[in-house]
C-alpha cells in the first residue's frame, strides 16, 4: 500500500501545476518561505529546481497578465511599476498568522489595492482557481461502486441520490 501511495505522490509531484503554487505566494502569511520549506521536506532532490522555476515563472505570469489587462501603452508603463510591486510584496515580512486569523486573504488584497493595484488583480484571479481535482476524480471513481452489474438499469436520478 505504501508503494502505491508513493507512486501516486511521485506522479502528482512530477506534473503539478505551478499556477496552484502562486496561490500560496499571494497569501501574505506564507509567500515563498512556506513553499521553500515544504518543498525541501517533500523532495530535497527537486526542491531547489522547483523553487527556482517558481521564482522565474511568477514575474512572467505577472507580465503576461498585465499585457492582457492593459493596452500596449499602459502595459509598458505598468510593467516597470508592477514588477517592482511584485518585488515589494515579496520583500515584505510575513504577516503573523495569529493577527490574520479573522481575516481572509481576499480582504488583505482588498485593503492593499492602493499599494499593489495590478498585483491585486492577479492575486484575486489566482485565488479564484479551484485548488483540487479530488472532488471530480472521487466522483468518477466512486461511480463504479454505485453502479455495479446488478444496478445497470438504475434511473439517473437514483444514481445521483446514491452518490
End-to-end CA separation in angstroms for the chain:
26
Place of cell 483540487: 132
What is the spatial distance between Cα 107 and Cα 123, in angstroms, rounded to a whole number? 11
Nearest by Cα to 59 from 110, 25, 10, 17: 25
Nearest by Cα to 25 from 13, 44, 12, 39: 39
Q: Within its chain, how far is the Cα of 47 from the centroid?
A: 17
**Domain map (residue ranges) of the chain:** 2-131, 133-163
What is the spatial distance between Cα 64 and Cα 154, in angstroms, rounded to a whole number? 49
pTM above 0.85, yes or no: no
So what's the pLDDT on residue 73? 44
Q: Is the pLDDT of residue 113 over 90?
A: yes
Are residues 42 and 36 in contact, defined by beta-carbon separation less than 8 angstroms?
Answer: no
Q: Is the pLDDT of residue 34 over 90?
A: no
What is the spatial distance between Cα 159 and Cα 116, in angstroms, rounded to a whole number? 48
Across 109-118, 122-131, 135-144, the highest mean pLDDT is recorded for 109-118
Q: Is the pLDDT of residue 28 over 80?
A: yes
Q: By CB neighbour count within 10 A (0-12 exposed, 13-18 middle, 19+ buried), where does 120 fall? A: buried
Give the mean model confidence (pLDDT) for residues 121-129. Answer: 87
Q: Is the pLDDT of residue 35 over 60?
A: yes
Who wins on pLDDT, 25 or 154? 25
So what's the pLDDT on residue 76? 56
Amino acid at each position: 500500500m505504501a508503494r502505491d501511495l508513493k507512486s501516486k505522490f511521485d506522479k502528482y509531484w512530477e506534473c503539478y501545476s505551478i499556477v496552484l503554487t502562486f496561490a500560496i505566494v499571494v497569501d501574505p502569511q506564507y509567500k515563498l518561505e512556506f513553499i521553500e520549506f515544504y518543498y525541501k521536506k517533500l523532495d530535497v532532490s527537486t526542491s531547489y529546481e522547483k523553487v527556482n522555476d517558481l521564482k522565474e515563472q511568477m514575474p512572467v505570469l505577472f507580465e503576461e497578465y498585465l499585457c492582457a489587462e492593459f493596452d500596449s501603452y499602459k502595459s509598458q508603463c505598468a510593467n516597470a511599476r508592477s514588477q517592482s510591486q511584485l518585488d515589494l510584496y515579496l520583500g515584505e515580512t510575513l504577516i503573523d498568522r495569529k493577527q490574520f486569523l479573522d481575516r481572509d486573504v481576499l480582504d488583505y488584497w482588498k485593503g492593499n489595492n492602493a499599494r499593489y493595484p495590478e498585483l491585486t488583480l492577479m492575486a484575486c484571479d489566482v485565488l479564484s482557481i479551484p485548488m483540487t481535482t479530488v472532488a471530480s476524480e472521487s466522483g468518477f471513481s466512486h461511480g463504479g461502486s454505485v453502479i455495479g452489474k446488478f444496478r445497470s438499469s438504475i434511473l439517473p436520478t437514483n444514481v445521483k441520490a446514491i452518490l
